[in-house]
A and B are shown apart, each in its own frame.
Chain A
Amino acid sequence: MKWGIKILPREVLLDTQGRAVQDYLNQNSQGVNQCRIGKYIVLDLKQTDAAESKKKAIEITEQTLLNPLIETYTIESL
């Protein structure tokens, strides 16, 4: 089963990539209030049981893919 994990830097942190892109867009008068850049990870897991597979995807995300001090995530089935 495939899972998509969307990870974004927490709002309190300076997102330097997001700020650079935002500044660039606004130099070209694009009217951007805020641009934040995170990452999207696709996990293809061996488990076929949906509940077990989701549990595993969350475990991998929380133990490795994410640092909760600086990031938040959402997960979706693909």
Chain B
Amino acid sequence: MKVGVVTFPGTNCDQDVVKMTQAHGYEVVPLWHKDRFDINSVKMVIVPGGFSYGDYLRCGALAARSPVMASVKDLAKTGRPVLGICNGFQILCETGLLPGVLVRNDHGHFIDKWTVIETVNSTSHFSKSDKKKLRLPVAHGEGRFYADKPELDKIEEQGQVWFRYAENINGSLNNIAGVMNKEKNVAALMPHPERALFDWMGGSDGFKFI
């Protein structure tokens, strides 16, 4: 299977995601932010973490409006899977493919630690391990999931909550750590599964994630 991995200026987790993709036996197709791509050339796209465009304007705002994301939106419409991790989550929210927005952590600090998340609703595309609870690293300053009340209720009712934090580490509404679109082919989370593939990394709950 061919997996597209997007790189923006400021992306810093793309090579980790490449390694994760290869570790699962898939072929990587690098996708550059300035280029649109043939949506039939890949079966899946991953939008990795980092600080795309230096987090200028708002986290993910400029990346969401880049040529490569126009193609990612087209690909998502076909039902093919799109995964966002950390800044990738922020970008997918800014494109409108996912509901809500990620704002500054309620305590104001950047957090970098291991945390436990619980699967609420699953998707057939990602997180294929049998474990309901995953221990994964987080590293973000703006990871507090926010949506207004009607939107939040809709996300809950439509089964779009993917993961919740076991302990709310950033003030996310309803402890939300990951969400999906209604069709469940676009999904994103703040923690980094690509940083937890093997035991020597400190944990392997990120394996079988794609």
Chain A positions within 8 Å of B, measured between CB atoms, are: 13-14, 16, 19-20, 64-65, 67, 69-70
Closest A residue, CB atoms, query B108: A16
Select which of B104, B108, B146 is within 8 A of A69 by beta carbon: B146
Closest A residue, CB atoms, query B101: A69
Assess whether B147 is in contact with A69, with CB atoms less than 8 Å apart: yes
Closest B residue, CB atoms, query A9: B103
Contacts of B171 in A (CB 8 A): 14
Contacts of B61 in A (CB 8 A): 64, 67
- Give the distance to chain A from B109, nearest Cβ to Cβ, in Å: 10
Whether B54 sits at the interface, judged by CB under 8 Å, is no
What 0/1 readout, one digit per residue, does chain B (30-67) give for beta carbons within 8 Å of chain A? 00000000000000000000000000011001000100
B96-116 CB contacts (< 8 Å) to partner A: 100-101, 103-104, 106, 108
Assess whether B57 is in contact with A70, with CB atoms less than 8 Å apart: no
Count B interface residues, CB 8 Å: 16
B79-110 CB contacts (< 8 Å) to partner A: 94, 100-101, 103-104, 106, 108
Cα separation A64 to B142 with both chains bound (whole Å): 19
Chain B positions within 8 Å of A, measured between CB atoms, are: 57-58, 61, 65, 94, 100-101, 103-104, 106, 108, 146-148, 151, 171
Assess whether A14 is in contact with B106, with CB atoms less than 8 Å apart: yes
Cα separation A64 to B53 with both chains bound (whole Å): 14
Cα separation A64 to B103 with both chains bound (whole Å): 17
- Give the distance to chain A from B61, nearest Cβ to Cβ, in Å: 7
What are 11 of the A-B contact pairs (CB < 8 Å)? A13-B103, A13-B146, A14-B103, A14-B171, A20-B108, A64-B65, A67-B58, A67-B94, A69-B151, A70-B101, A70-B103
Contacts of A19 in B (CB 8 A): 108
Cα separation A19 to B105 with both chains bound (whole Å): 13
Cα separation A16 to B105 with both chains bound (whole Å): 9
Contacts of A16 in B (CB 8 A): 104, 108
Contacts of A69 in B (CB 8 A): 100-101, 146-148, 151
Which 8 A-B residue pairs are closest in the complex by CB-CB distance?
A: A16-B108, A69-B101, A16-B104, A70-B101, A67-B58, A14-B106, A67-B101, A70-B103
Assess whether A14 is in contact with B100, with CB atoms less than 8 Å apart: no
- Give the distance to chain A from B47, nearest Cβ to Cβ, in Å: 18
Cα separation A16 to B171 with both chains bound (whole Å): 13
Cα separation A20 to B101 with both chains bound (whole Å): 22
Assess whether A65 is in contact with B108, with CB atoms less than 8 Å apart: no
Known pairs A14-B171, A19-B108 / 19 extra A-B pairs, C-beta < 8 Å: A13-B103, A13-B146, A14-B103, A14-B104, A14-B106, A16-B104, A20-B108, A64-B57, A64-B65, A65-B57, A67-B61, A67-B101, A69-B100, A69-B146, A69-B147, A69-B148, A69-B151, A70-B103, A70-B146
